[in-house]
Amino acid sequence: MKLATIQRMARQGDMSLEALHYLLQCRAECEWLDYKAALNLASDAALCEFGRDVLALRNVGGGYLIVGVRAEFVRQ
């Protein structure tokens, strides 16, 4: 994973299929990339947690939150 590549992609707003493939191949999180197994917004606590994650990405200048990726996938 090249952090500079992810940062550049985030700043450019790259939402292409190629970008998604690259981010999935990174298999690790960083300040511009976060994986979530599921998106649960049913409770206030879950909604606040999601908001915190989004704000954290905003505070570093943008990034990616990829939903639907299991933690086991990322750790391999």
Task: Supply the pLDDT for residue 28.
Answer: 87
Mean pLDDT score of the chain, rounded to an integer?
A: 90
Query: What's the average model confidence in pLDDT over 5-32?
Result: 93
pLDDT tens per residue across span 28-62: 899 999 999 899 899 999 999 999 999 999 999 99
- Give 9-76 as a 3 state SS string: HHHHCCCCHHHHHHHHHHCCCECCEEEECCCCCCCHHHHHHHHHHHHHHHHCCCCEEEECCCHHHHHC
